[in-house]
Amino acid sequence: MEQALFNSLIDISQSPAARCGQADLMLERARWAATVFDRYDRAATMRIVEAVAQAAHDHAAEFGEKVVAESGFGVAAHKKIKNELTAKPLVDFYRDQDFVNPRVDEARKIVEIPRPAGVIFALTPSTNPIATVNFKVLMALMTRNAIVISPHPAVKETSVEAVRILARAAEQAGAPAATIQIIAEPSIPVVEAFMNSDKTNVILATGGTAMVRAAYSSGNPAIGVGPGNAPVFVDASADITKAAQRIVDSKSFDNSILCTNESVLITLPEVENQLKIALKSAGAYICSDEETEALRRFLFPPRGFNIEAIGRDATWIAQECGIRVPSSSKILITPITQIGVEERLSREKLCPVLALHVAKTQAQALSQARAVLRLTGAGHSAAIHTSNETSVMDFASAVEAYRVVVNAPCSQGAAGFATNLAPTFTIGTGFFGRSSIGENVGPQHLVHWTRIAYHSGDEVPFGNYHGLGRGFRGALPTAPADGVPGSSASPQPSAASSLDTATKDELRRLIAAELRDMLRK
């Protein structure tokens, strides 16, 4: 058992031939695992899913702390919550959906047979690495797919350790060996070898725009996501106190590292003063014009977004800008007079800094909310606080977003954790955001259905398919070798603290390249 688990942690050589060869071996093992897994019934499948969800839940706090230590991003306690939400609650949400058994529709005389994708290649980000790993692994298992994880280099050690635990839980519950694998030493050439392989059936791309575009152009089916930049509108009919509290709680959650967080707060003159008072009471600090300019310079230097601010808390950012704020400050609010490319603070900010714009009229507010998403974040998320259903419909119709959260924190609500949307850590941005999927990505996107369709006329009777399953012919293929030359076990991941300064600097540069692309104009 341990041998198989260690063999999933392959250190791929940097030579092109070795890279392609080792990628081929990992994918061949994954393809074998998917072939075997396809023959499991729903009871066996769910036993594996439940075991992995339990393992993810049990280690949620541990990996929340480890990923913050390794990356320097976010809040460990909040990452624990996200890690837990992508374990048992995720399984509970899809528990009543059957991705294993055929579906029989007697009225339409159609039988649908589930066909798993096969081998999934999944990219995970530096910002929400373990929650995304949990989410993508459980989606793959629910649909009887094999998965190969490519972790972000900035959090590879914690990711490798987490995936190893999930792989062990899956195999102990009966999953085929190599159903869950991870690349221990990810790099752009390695990722390209996996994305371009004809043994990869689908790519789940979560990361920078360049990487998502590369997935789409790989020649393999890809499900990608785009950047966020959510506007939030508070109108005159809103419960101002509750709206302010929800916005502050959302914007400060995990130091605003979720792409679903509110980016620009838009309100009206008749609401402005009351809203500012409520925001202060909820833990926000309202910046002066001079403080706003200091934040603008700090967050958006000439070279692009300042990645040092990513996932940092409000007091740290304020201190770096020479702004004195109460130690209890949860977010910083920067009043701005316009929205567009000229105003850098109206762009996405993965830190607890929230721009505030006061529109002259409701119509202008809707236009400005639309402009926020057109600047960046098209197709992603938006939020509104109101008690007027007409306002909701007008707002939702105006913004180019596929998730509009009403009277709830957008960070959690758009991801399905404070609303009844499907829980996800992969947000589809659809046609607006040039993505193949507009809804929250879920296991239903990793299985297609063969449809048996009878003649619709009454003269052709429909057969009795209840209780019938798929028939498999022939013996299973032989399991391929693990492909680790001259070694009985792959090297164990080292502790995050073992990274030397040069390596950490290089990881910073990798993150910078990704995030500058995500947060560019």
- Alpha-carbon distance 205 to 401, whole Å? 20
What is the distance between the alpha carbons of residues 104 and 110, in angstroms, rounded to a whole number?
6
259: annotated active-site residue: yes
pLDDT at residue 488, rounded to an integer: 26
Q: Is 503 in a helix, a strand, or coil? A: helix
Per-residue pLDDT tens over the stretch 425-464 = 999 999 998 888 999 999 999 999 999 999 999 999 999 9
- Residues 97, 91: Cα–Cα separation, whole Å: 10
pLDDT at 484 over 50: no
User: In the chain, what percentage of residues exceed pLDDT 90?
Assistant: 73
Q: How far apart are CA 263 and CA 466, in angstroms?
A: 51
Q: Calculate mean pLDDT across residues 109-138.
A: 95
pLDDT for 130-149, tens place per residue? 999 999 999 999 999 999 99
Please give the pLDDT value at position 515: 46
| pLDDT tens profile 19-61 | 677 888 999 999 999 999 999 999 999 999 999 999 999 999 9
Q: How far is CA 410 from CA 81, 382, 384, in A?
A: 16, 7, 9
Q: What is the pLDDT of residue 469?
A: 79
Residue 487 and residue 76: Cα distance in Å, rounded?
A: 36
Task: Give the pLDDT confidence score for residue 518 in this predicted structure.
Answer: 41
Confirm if 149 and 184 have CB atoms less than 8 A apart. Answer: no
Reading phi first (left if > 0) and then psi (alpha if -120 to 50, else beta), residue 463 is in beta
Q: Is residue 496 very low, low, confident or very high in pLDDT (cuts 50, 70, 90)?
A: very low
Cα separation, 112 vs 219, whole angstroms: 27
Using DSSP, state whether 123 is helix, strand or coil. strand
Find the mean pLDDT for residues 372-394: 96
Q: Helix, strand, or coil here: 499?
A: coil
* In the predicted structure, residue 495 carries a pLDDT above the cut 90: no
Does pLDDT of 126 surpass 60? yes
Regarding beta strands 401-406 and 447-453, do their DSSP bridges make them parallel or antiparallel, or are they unpaired?
A: unpaired
3-state secondary structure 434-497: CCCCCCECCHHHHEEEEEEECCCCCCCCCCCCCCCCCCCCCCCCCCCCCCCCCCCCCCCCCCHH
Task: Give 506's pLDDT tier (boundaries 50, 70, 90).
Answer: very low
Mean pLDDT of the chain, nearest integer: 88
Question: Residue 466: what pLDDT?
Answer: 87
- Domains of the chain, each with CATH number or no CATH: 2-225+442-455 (3.40.605.10), 230-413 (3.40.309.10)
Q: Which of 49-58, 198-207, 332-341, 365-374 has the lowest mean pLDDT?
A: 198-207
In this predicted structure, which of 148-162, 199-213, 235-249, 421-435 has the lowest mean pLDDT? 199-213
Q: List the catalytic residue out of 259, 287, 321, 410.
A: 259
Please report which confidence band the pLDDT of residue 16 belongs to, taking 50, 70 and 90 as the band edges: low
Q: What is the pLDDT of residues 185-230, one digit of tens each?
A: 888 888 888 999 999 999 998 766 677 777 878 888 888 877 899 9
What is the Cα–Cα distance from 106 to 22, expressed in whole angstroms?
48
Q: Is the pLDDT of residue 14 over 70?
A: no
The CB-side HSE value for 142 (13 A sphere, CA atoms) comes to 25
pLDDT (average), residues 333-349: 95
pLDDT tens for residues 278-292? 999 999 999 999 999
356: nearest Cα among 261, 282, 292, 306: 292
Give 85: exposed, middle or buried? Use CB within 10 Å, 0-12, 13-18, 19+. buried
Given this model, what pLDDT does residue 141 score? 98
pLDDT > 60? residue 497: no
Q: What is the pLDDT of residue 238?
A: 98
d(CA 298, CA 287): 14
Where does 217-326 have alpha helices with state H? 240-252, 269-282, 289-299, 314-320
Three-state secondary-structure class, residue 188: helix
Of 492 and 183, the structure prediction assigns the larger pLDDT to 183
pTM for the model stands at 0.87
SS3 85: helix
Please compute, for residue 163, the number of CA atoms within 13 A of its CA located in the half-sphere on the CB side: 33
What pLDDT is stored for residue 9 in this prediction? 45
Positive or negative torsion for Cα 488, 47, 87, 129? positive
Q: What is the mean pLDDT of residues 117-127?
A: 94
- For residue 79, pLDDT over 60 is answered with yes
